[in-house]
Amino acid sequence: METTLVWFRQDLRLSDNPAWVRALERGGAFVPVYIHAHEEAGQWAPGGARRWWLHHALKDLTAQLAGKGLRLVLRCGGSGEILEGLLEETGADAVYWNRCYEPFRIQHDGRIKSRLKEAGIEAWSGNASLLREPWEVATGSGGPYKVYTPFARACARTPDPQPVSRRGEDPFPPRRWPESRSLEDLGLLPDIPWDTGLRAFWNPTREGGLGRLGAFLKNRMSAYATARDIPGEDGTSRLSPYLHTGQIGPREAVAALRRHPESKGRETFYRELVWREFAYHVLYHFPDTLERPLQLKFSAFPWRHETGELRVWQKGETGYPIVDAGMRQLWQTGWMHNRVRMVVASFLVKHLLHSWRDGEAWFRDTLVDADLASNTLGWQWAGGCGADAAPYFRVFNPITQGEKFDPEGTYTRTYVPELKNVPDRYLFKPWELPVSVQETAGCTIGRDYPEPIIEHKAGRERALEAFASIKEER
């Protein structure tokens, strides 16, 4: 009987999974495998929040496979060596998987596929993660895009692909299952129980993702174009971690989206899915952006490296309530509202003059949706140094951003409870609180809540001076 290794990675689902469908078409026995190849990712290995999510996603995939009479074989080590060992143990003659697009994975996968084919093993990879793979969209001259809008227009010229599926018999288990590590052996859960907030905020299963998608499309999508900017409302999809781990595929999301009438909200949500595609397009064609700015003039930017300031930002103690609310939401839930992500990123790279790489590293460690492509694109956008980046001289004002998008303080007071009794007029500039009002509100500035780490005007002027210095140098 033919036996196929189905190698799962960032595609932890059975529906709309090309590798799974290909194995079904081949028939025979299946050996599903997940390899925890932590060292292959090097400095880009998953952070604590993403590892927490991965643990639960693998547990969920194990349950999905059990429904088909199969097990998930877990191994730790180098991907190539583990696969070769499993081929020998099981007598399998084919390995199917779905592609990943991080630069280090592309290199590993190329070597693995070549070695397997040289050994006479059928090796095949598909696309479970994107609507259009990075090389499928090109400019008129055949090059890559660096600006989102023309990229989105190019995508619109071809129809969106449909989810892949195949009806037929369930797969067969192998005659003998190879040994497997336990899920706990992978060491994905934290030693210190900081994940209480994550457990309360998320259902990290495919069912949880489908429920989230369905509820969003039914109840929130019509208002999404405006509600997505209001952090105090549940107005976003919160699908990013499900898309990142592949518990939901983008083809599935778009197919569900298209079953709803056209609206401004539907159009806006679709553009966000295409922005995710753009992130992968940029990373694939410009892999150096993981460490260097796409706009090379920023290589000479006079970034500061003040560990104390960085720590204050990470802990949400900058003295700017909307910034601190966002950083505390991140720590408590492993996620941050998108509008607030832009505010906190602008504050770090402009008010504090810290490199976008400092922010990218912290988000990579603390976000459950820490997608390397999206995270890199977003931080270079905030830093003014990447593809389609916001001009560096556009500095978010953390006071007016709070007043505009959280006018009643619903979001800010949730995550900065020491300000819960501060009147609305002072909420986003609490340093202006009269002493008598501080006493009434039970919040003494400098004791219960910090003074601003830097004055807004001074921070903005310093940022513009730094930007002018690299313009002069050029």
* 431: annotated active-site residue: no
* 331: annotated active-site residue: no
Structure tokens at 421: 């009794």
Helix (H, G, I), strand (E, B) or coil at 122: strand
From the candidate CATH numbers 1.25.40.80, 1.20.1420.30, 3.30.450.20, 1.20.1440.230, the one assigned to the domain spanning 130-161+204-285: 1.25.40.80
Ranges for all domains in the chain classified under CATH 1.25.40.80: 130-161+204-285
Helix (H, G, I), strand (E, B) or coil at 71: coil
* 194: annotated active-site residue: no
* 379: annotated active-site residue: yes
pLDDT tens for residues 456-467?
999 999 999 999
pTM above 0.85, yes or no: yes
pLDDT tens for residues 341-351?
999 999 999 99
Give the active site residue among 303, 317, 403, 431. Answer: 303
Check whether 47 has a pLDDT greater than 70.
yes
Q: Residues 5, 149: contact at Cβ < 8 Å?
A: no
Give the active site residue among 20, 356, 362, 381. Answer: 356
Half-sphere exposure of 444 (CA within 13 A, CB side): 3
Give the active site residue among 275, 317, 403, 431. Answer: 275
Helix (H, G, I), strand (E, B) or coil at 366: helix
pLDDT tens for residues 87-115?
999 999 999 999 999 999 999 999 999 99
Q: Residues 223, 265: contact at Cβ < 8 Å?
A: yes
Check whether 126 has a pLDDT greater than 70.
yes
Ranges for all domains in the chain classified under CATH 3.40.50.620: 1-128
Structure tokens at 441: 């509100």
How buried is residue 141: exposed, middle or buried, by Cβ count under 10 Å (0-12/13-18/19+)? exposed
Check whether 1 has a pLDDT greater than 80.
no
pLDDT tens for residues 274-318?
999 999 999 999 999 999 999 999 999 999 999 999 999 999 999
Give the active site residue among 44, 84, 317, 338. Answer: 338
Ranges for all domains in the chain classified under CATH 1.10.579.10: 296-473
Check whether 335 has a pLDDT greater than 80.
yes
pLDDT for 142: 95
Strand partners, 172: 29
Confidence at 473, pLDDT banded by 50, 70, 90: low
Give the active site residue among 98, 379, 381, 418. Answer: 379
From the candidate CATH numbers 3.40.30.10, 3.40.50.2300, 1.10.275.10, 3.40.50.620, the one assigned to the domain spanning 1-128: 3.40.50.620
* Assigned architecture for domain 296-473: Orthogonal Bundle (1.10)
* 465: annotated active-site residue: no
